[in-house]
Amino acid sequence: MLPRVGSQPMRLVRLALQAVLFFLLLGAVMGIGSTESGALEKLVFAGFAGVLIWLAVRVREIGAAGPHRST
């Protein structure tokens, strides 16, 4: 049985995932800003940051009500 929309466990899962994604994104931004990383490494960090932002958007949808469909 799936948890209800907006239930406390789903909120905690969403919060935990967002916290992990935040710290990974923070690390990617620090890698981009580092003077010790080269151009290719900065490009990889930027791509990784883009994927993390996309994942964060998807995580926000966890436990949210689905879109209303008109018939």
Contacts of 49 (CB under 8 A, 6+ apart): 25, 28, 29, 32
- Give dist(CA 32, CA 45) in Å, integer: 6
Is residue 34 a part of any domain in this protein? Answer: yes
4 — pLDDT class (breaks 50, 70, 90)? low
6 — pLDDT class (breaks 50, 70, 90)? low
Is residue 3 a part of any domain in this protein? Answer: no
Is residue 4 a part of any domain in this protein? Answer: no
pTM here? 0.72
The larger pLDDT score, comparing residue 27 to residue 71, is at 27
For residue 17 the two structure tokens come to: 């995932």
Number of domains in the chain: 1
Domain housing 40: 17-60
Is residue 39 a part of any domain in this protein? Answer: yes
Is residue 68 a part of any domain in this protein? Answer: no
